[in-house]
A and B are shown apart, each in its own frame.
Chain A
């Protein structure tokens, strides 16, 4: 028998359905509100914690194996070294070593250690130093090449370390101040193996309280730290790869400082109420590699024509919004032994044309320039170079590759022009000079395959010369030769970019990128 639903029965059903739908929505909203309430008050009223947002994930907290800059700068807060660079990156300060003697014609270094403990309370002895230095020196593919002159590292007693060299090596102290030669506890590293690095123990001002991979690293003051007690008690480093998210975090005051804000937002951030942008001098040198396997670049007149034909001021303006310095020497800006007498090649089209006319390629030539994808400053630089050199009849085609592919194509002797950069790991010029000038230094003179016997000779002599005044003369001469020969085009010196709230006082980054010294004096106001 047919039946139809009565209106009286469908009315309550409709009401019931509406009630169910409303209840589900209300439950969802309540759940989210509860989660927000459980999150608690996250306003940054705390004065004892400094929060920094970094752009790049931590690879490891093992100082011998760090390859990511952000990790390197972090670990310098956890571990001590015998010596460390000062805040301007131009001199060395005692750290674990309170004093040292250089004897035997510069071939024996004796370091006297302070009384120190690791963050677990165990004593730090000379044997830990010996272990740490040898461990890093012997690591395959590591930084051992800096210490090839080292014959032995011994600990005659718990407070003394003796390093003996096969020949005088002027950069030794700067090499030992490098992050890779940080001191770690021998017993714990041997006992725990790789697991040690998840919650390492060091003797630096801060210690790790927790590490959440790819998210956050929490540090607290090391109770056994021998130096000046920091004003803050905790440091929180958040990993925020997205540029926009980092800026938004700072604007919402969830963090106190951010690393590497986008270059095109630096001026905007500075105008935002309560925020400031910082451009800390760095050791970064941006340059264009000229591979001499490509015939035109063997010709010095061509290289000089390129130098005069590229407007460095236009690059600084377009690529860095004016926040960079035109480059002159291959050595980073104002580093130790930097030759201040060299000036950036001025943009002079007439001079460029006259050098090209004297070369074997008076009508110009075709070449390619390798750039890295998604490198905004690099992409702008490539455009300036292409348009400027076109006026000389040099047709540059830009080839864009992902980072490692670009590096691979720039090495190996099959490249032409390539965008490269350099940053120092030590304050001494030996490292950058070896890479940039010495054809046997391992980098083929920044992959240009250029060599100059006089410059090469001076590199070796300067490495062994212990007198600073003589070293200055030698490095001045090397820089002058490179400047005149122009095996690569030094474009600019670009700074490290940071932004912070104006409630932070004392945050500072040294030219090597480290901020560990500034964390000792830093204060955070309520905000």
Chain B
């Protein structure tokens, strides 16, 4: 019951957050110099053409009128028309969101596959060869720029060994799995460095806890102690770190999308800022905000599910 009302309250809290985001993005975007007419007309810009174009796009109306019209359309599920693509912003975003979500989900799976065994084994074999190697590798992985790593992967695995495609998203489910392996691995390596270090640290703390000593003295097997007491407690801290970084990841795939030519919302957002495609920027920001809120909510729920001491109030 408490959990249900907690979820309901959090969902209601999303409304003012999203409202604030619409205000900030709408007015902040329009503070940036350069207007969409410049993007469309380029070096053939003339005042007369720009005036006509701005009028046809509704950009010559007072800002507050533009904002009210935007909000009116938003309540009807209409994000406006993309200035660059000349089609509904909703369509532009919907066509590109699956690629980013697939990339993020794939990266997360790979990051979990890499980080959980590595973090745990590192902690259990503290000071050993595996632990030392893992710690150096995570440091290097953390410092390595993602775009550089991505290019190296392309050169080795796509160009020379020809195991994976160079770029793109593929056209079927298995096509996505194939095309997105290298970009997902690139992201996963960066993501898993934080998870490994957090998991290692929290596992070591748990291993040294009094309740673990008590459990051992009671004669519970080492495996059972680790499974029931150590891992479950060590994962709590990782869930929080995981949730925070996942929220960043949703909007942070732009560089990898660019390197691997993945048609996602990350690169769409950056390109749209460059062309001052206001409806698309506003739409993508809203969509990403919703995802961040949902991820934060799920992180809190997971945290409380793992640790009964944490009350969802």
A41 → chain B closest CB, angstroms: 11
Asked if B259 is at the interface (CB within 8 A of a chain A CB), the reply is yes
Q: Are B34 and A141 in contact (CB under 8 A)?
A: no
B213 at the interface (CB under 8 A from A): no
| Docked pose: A425 CA to B43 CA in angstroms | 11
Instruction: Please report which residues of chain A, range 216-258, place their CB below 8 angstroms from some CB of chain B when the two chains form the complex.
Output: 216, 238-242, 244-245, 248-249, 251-252, 254
A24 neighbours in B (Cβ, 8 Å): 113
Query: Contacts A140-B55, A407-B34, A423-B43 known; A62 to B158 CB distance under 8 Å?
Result: no
Residue of A nearest to B159 (CB): A252
Task: Decide if the interface of chain B is mainly helix, strand, loop or mixed.
Answer: helix
B85, B159, B167, B271: most-surrounded residue (chain A CB, <10 A) = B167
| Chain A 17-48 interface residues, beta-carbon cutoff 8 Å to B | 21, 24, 28, 31-32, 34-36, 38-39, 42
Q: Determine whether the beta carbon of A404 is less than 8 Å from that of B35.
A: yes
A110 interfacial by beta-carbon distance below 8 Å: no
CA A194 to CA B85, docked complex, whole Å: 11
Instruction: Report Cα–Cα, A39/B49, bound state, in Å.
Output: 48
A-side contacts of B171, CB under 8 Å: 212
Interface extent on B, as a size class?
Answer: 35 or more
Q: How far is the CB of B136 from chain A (nearest CB, A)?
A: 22
B263 x A213 contact (CB < 8 A): yes
CB of B307 closer than 8 Å to a CB of A = no
Contacts of A245 in B (CB 8 A): 151, 154, 166-167, 259-261
- Are A215 and B169 within 8 A (Cβ)? yes
Give the CA-CA distance A101 to B168 in the complex, in Å: 50
Pairwise interchain contact A67-B39, C-beta atoms closer than 8 A: yes
**Which single residue of chain B is at the shortest CB-CB distance from A404?**
B34
Chain B 85-114: CB-based contact to A (< 8 A → 1; otherwise 0): 111000010011000000000000000010
Q: Is the CB of A2 within 8 A of B219?
A: yes
Q: Is there a chain B Cβ closer than 8 Å to A100's Cβ?
A: no
Given A60-B85, A254-B166, CB of A404 within 8 Å of CB of B178: no
Is there an interface contact between A409 and B33, defined as CB atoms closer than 8 Å? yes
B155 within 8 A of A: yes
Chain B residue numbers with a CB within 8 Å of A13 are: 223
A5's contact among B44, B164, B222, B263, by CB below 8 Å, is which? B222
| Residue from A62, A67, A403 in contact with B40 in the complex, judged by beta carbons closer than 8 Å | A67
- Contact of A35 with B49 in the complex, beta carbons under 8 Å: no
A420 touches B (CB below 8 Å):
yes
| Residues on B with beta carbons closer than 8 Å to the beta carbon of A238 | 167-168, 261
Residue B309 is within 8 A (CB to CB) of chain A in the complex: no
Q: Mark A269-291, 1 if CB is under 8 A from B, else 0.
A: 00000000000000000000000
B235 to chain A, nearest CB (A): 18
User: A residues within 8 A CB of B70?
Assistant: none
Collect the chain A residues with CB atoms within 8 Å of residue B53's CB.
140-141
Complex: how many Å from CA A443 to CA B33? 19
In the complex, the answer to whether B45 meets A407 with C-beta atoms within 8 Å is yes
Q: A34 — which chain B residues lie within 8 A by C-beta? A: 174
- A159 to chain B minimum Cβ distance, whole angstroms, is 32
| Distance A266 CA – B73 CA, assembled complex (angstroms) | 49
A197 within 8 A of partner (CB): yes
Does chain A have a CB within 8 A of B165?
Answer: yes
Residue A408, interface by CB 8 Å: yes
B159 pairs with A241, CB closer than 8 A: no
Q: Does A99 have its Cβ within 8 Å of any Cβ on chain B?
A: no
Asked if A5 and B85 sit within 8 Å, CB to CB, the answer is: no
Check A241–B181 contact: CB distance below 8 A. no
Chain B residues whose C-beta falls within 8 Å of the C-beta of A4 in the assembled complex:
219, 221
Identify the interface centre among B52, B113, B260, B276: most chain A CB within 10 Å of its CB: B52
Say yes or no for A192: interface residue by CB 8 A criterion. no
CB distance from B298 to the nearest CB of A (A): 25
Distance between Cα atoms of A251 and B151 in the complex (Å): 14
Q: How far is the CB of B210 from chain A (nearest CB, A)?
A: 18
Report which of B38, B49, B258 forms a contact with A242, defined as CB distance below 8 A.
B258
B165 nearest CB neighbor, chain A only? A39
Q: Is the CB of B261 within 8 A of A240?
A: yes
Q: Evaluate contact between A249 and B166: CB separation under 8 angstroms.
A: yes
A142 to B44, CA, bound (A): 10
Measured between beta carbons, the chain B residues less than 8 angstroms from A59 are 84-86
By a CB distance below 8 angstroms, the chain B residues around A107 are: none
Answer whether residue B177 sits at the interface, using C-beta atoms and an 8 A cutoff: yes
The docked-state distance in angstroms from the alpha carbon of A216 to that of B168 is: 9
* B177 close to A141 (CB less than 8 A): no
Are A38 and B169 also in contact (CB < 8 A) when A140-B52, A404-B39, A421-B43 are?
Answer: no
The distance from the CB of A316 to the nearest CB of chain B, in whole angstroms, is 21
B37 touches A (CB below 8 Å): yes
| Chain B 9-50 near chain A by CB (<8 Å), digits 1 or 0 | 000000000000000000000001111011111111111111
Confirm or deny: B145 has a beta carbon within 8 angstroms of a beta carbon on chain A.
no
A213-B263, A442-B49 are known; give 16 further A-B pairs, CB within 8 A.
A2-B219, A35-B174, A36-B164, A36-B178, A38-B174, A39-B175, A59-B85, A141-B40, A142-B49, A213-B96, A214-B267, A239-B261, A245-B260, A245-B261, A404-B276, A435-B44
Closest 4 CB pairs of A and B: A141-B53, A404-B34, A442-B46, A214-B263
What would 11 A/B residue contacts be, using CB atoms closer than 8 Å?
Answer: A62-B86, A67-B39, A140-B52, A194-B86, A213-B92, A213-B263, A408-B34, A420-B43, A422-B43, A442-B48, A443-B44
